Amino acid sequence: MALMKRFKSSDNFPVNSEYKLLPIRFTELDNERVVITNMVGEHIVVSQDSLNSLITRSKPLDDSLLAELYSKHIIYDGVSQLPLKLSGLKYRTKIARLKNFTALHMVVTTLRCDYTCHYCQVSRQNLSSDNSQFDMTVETADKVLNLIFKSPAKALKIEFQGGESLLNFDVIKHIVLNAEIRAETEGRNMQYVIATNLSPLNDEILEFCKLYRIYISTSLDGPFKLHNRNRPRPGNNGHQLTVAAIDKVKSHIGIDHISALMTTSGRSLDFSKEIIDEYIKNGLHAIFLRPLSPYGFAVTKGHINRYDTEKWLDFFKESLSYIIEVNKQGYPLIEQYSSLILTKILTARDLGYVDLQSPAGAMISGIIYNYDGDVYASDEARMQAEIGHTEFRLGNVNENTYEEIIGNEFMLDSIEKSFAISSPQCTDCAFLPYCGSDPVYHLATQNDVVGNKQLSGFCKKNIGIFKLLITLLEDSDLHTKRILKSWARY
């Protein structure tokens, strides 16, 4: 028995095969398949054949594929406005953060450091240096605060960096206490992060961090041997100190208040499992697999050549598969770079990660104040300046107004050039909605803020990761898919 006579059967509601394409891009995923994305990052993986039929209309597509293309807003019927409305809404959601402008303000409290890391990306000063020369002064800190509070963002995040930031704890205290007062009267939400190697940690600092709910971000490069070789410290006890301090932070401030970053050196590449195990041992639930960036000391000392992007991608892939394994065994561990990208792939949001923004995230997503009051568009730009490339120095808090700094000609020009949709190659790349442009990187490596993406390590690294993640989302077992999907942040 079918439907009652008064009803129309489903044949009366066929999927419309007369479609129009919405703005899309496609890129080969592997030999057989392509990834298609639309402007807001919805994606679908189809065979080469289906892509041909879709574009040339040489063969009819089957209904289930058509339906999926419609519901992902890759095609539409050419008449109804709804797909355009929804796409517009999602586009606005993706770039909503732009209206807040700079929310992340990084403050370099000192250049002094007790470590002598080979790869240190900043021209550090050793401990014996004269404080007055390389520490931020209270006067400069006040001017920095003035600038931070000029930012239109309602939620402000201040991140203290170094050198070893805690060596100038007085200025951290000064900034936090004053920021609290201003936030109260101006109705802003504050969040503080201290990036530190944790060796100067003491009870006073712990108490203070606890009181103001401050987040601690530290460096953990892997097990004892690797960590201490990457990050030498007089006494060879860096690893021991770090691990002990991580525990203290957990018990005094809270387990959610500590995170660790690793920097990959050429040496690290053979130790993916050991590095990850070290994170697990320390009860950390997130790891950020970062490549070595081509800045500061890393470039001048030639470490960048120790391994190339290809090798790093292999390392990333191996690490990721071990991380997934660990999750399957019941220990939740997120890889943060994947999490940022999966959020872009699977949700309507964008977390605003500096390196993956178009227009560029430099200055817009974050801005950095050096110990001497110099303002840079990004942390990397500051490092560039240390080796003589001062293009992205936007001004100095002691000499320039907010308007002069934010209106810096070279910066504005770079931002204008940094729209990925107008960059050669990016404009045709399916991964554009997930990617970004990194003018500071490309100026450093190619002497051009846009850069030739064929030669770009940034592009190669990201394409590799995009393809890896999308392939995993397509081909892996259900459990793996769930784990990856659960990393997306809605």
* Contact positions vs another protein (CB under 8 A): 1-4, 6-8, 10, 12-16, 42, 67-68, 70-71, 80-82, 85-86, 89-90, 347-348, 482, 485-486, 488, 490
DSSP string spanning 426-462?
GGG-TTGGG----HHHHHHHHSSSS--GGG-HHHHHH
* Smaller CB separation from another protein, 147 or 348: 348
334-335/286-287 β-pairing: parallel
Q: Measuring CA to CA, how many Å separate 173 from each of 60, 158, 215, 379, 390?
A: 67, 12, 14, 22, 30
Among another protein, ligand SF4, none, residue 425 binds (CB under 5-8 Å by kind):
ligand SF4
Q: Please, what is the minimum distance in Å from the beta carbon of residue 487 to another protein?
A: 10
Q: Round to whole Å and give the CA distance between 232 and 124.
A: 13
* Smaller CB separation from another protein, 86 or 412: 86
Q: Please, what is the minimum distance in Å from the beta carbon of residue 426 to ligand SF4?
A: 3
Among ligand SF4, another protein, none, residue 459 binds (CB under 5-8 Å by kind):
ligand SF4
Q: Please, what is the minimum distance in Å from the beta carbon of residue 296 to ligand SF4?
A: 23
Among ligand SF4, another protein, none, residue 488 binds (CB under 5-8 Å by kind):
another protein
Among ligand SF4, another protein, none, residue 84 binds (CB under 5-8 Å by kind):
none
* Smaller CB separation from another protein, 22 or 313: 22
In this structure, what DSSP letter does residue 125 have?
E
463 binds ligand SF4 (CB under 6 A): yes
Q: Please, what is the minimum distance in Å from the beta carbon of residue 55 to ligand SF4?
A: 20
Among ligand SF4, another protein, none, residue 213 binds (CB under 5-8 Å by kind):
none
* Smaller CB separation from another protein, 13 or 403: 13
* Smaller CB separation from ligand SF4, 209 or 429: 429
Among another protein, ligand SF4, none, residue 80 binds (CB under 5-8 Å by kind):
another protein
Among 459, 469, 470, 484, which residue interacts with ligand SF4 (rule: CB under 6 A)?
459
In this structure, what DSSP letter does residue 110 have?
B
Q: What is the CA radius of gyration of the chain?
A: 25
Q: Round to whole Å and give the CA distance between 482 and 343.
A: 14
| Interactions with ligand SF4, residue window 374-433 (CB under 6 A) | 420, 425-426, 429, 431-432
Q: Please, what is the minimum distance in Å from the beta carbon of residue 462 to ligand SF4?
A: 5
* Smaller CB separation from ligand SF4, 112 or 453: 453
* Smaller CB separation from another protein, 70 or 419: 70
DSSP string spanning 171-221?
HHHHHHHHHHHHHHHHT-EEEEEEE--STT--HHHHHHHHHTT-EEEEE--
464, 313 contact by CB (below 8 A): yes
Q: Per DSSP, which regions of 325-456 are E strands? A: 334-335, 366-369, 374-376, 393-396
Among ligand SF4, another protein, none, residue 454 binds (CB under 5-8 Å by kind):
none
183, 150 contact by CB (below 8 A): no
* Smaller CB separation from another protein, 81 or 447: 81
* Smaller CB separation from ligand SF4, 108 or 341: 341
Which amino acid type is present at position 14?
P
Determine the length of the chain: 490
| Distance, C-alpha 344 to centroid of its chain | 11
Tell me how far apart the terminal alpha carbons of the chain are, to the nearest angstrom.
45
Which amino acid type is present at position 338?
S
Q: Round to whole Å and give the CA distance between 61 and 170.
A: 67
* Smaller CB separation from another protein, 121 or 327: 327
Among another protein, ligand SF4, none, residue 462 binds (CB under 5-8 Å by kind):
ligand SF4
Location of structure tokens 């890391």: 117
Among another protein, ligand SF4, none, residue 347 binds (CB under 5-8 Å by kind):
another protein
162, 115 contact by CB (below 8 A): no
Q: Round to whole Å and give the CA distance between 252 and 208.
A: 11
435 binds ligand SF4 (CB under 6 A): yes
| Count of residues interacting with ligand SF4 (CB under 6 A) | 11
Q: Please, what is the minimum distance in Å from the beta carbon of residue 35 to another protein?
A: 17
In this structure, what DSSP letter does residue 36 have?
E
Q: Which residues bind ligand SF4 (CB under 6 A)?
A: 420, 425-426, 429, 431-432, 435, 453, 459, 462-463
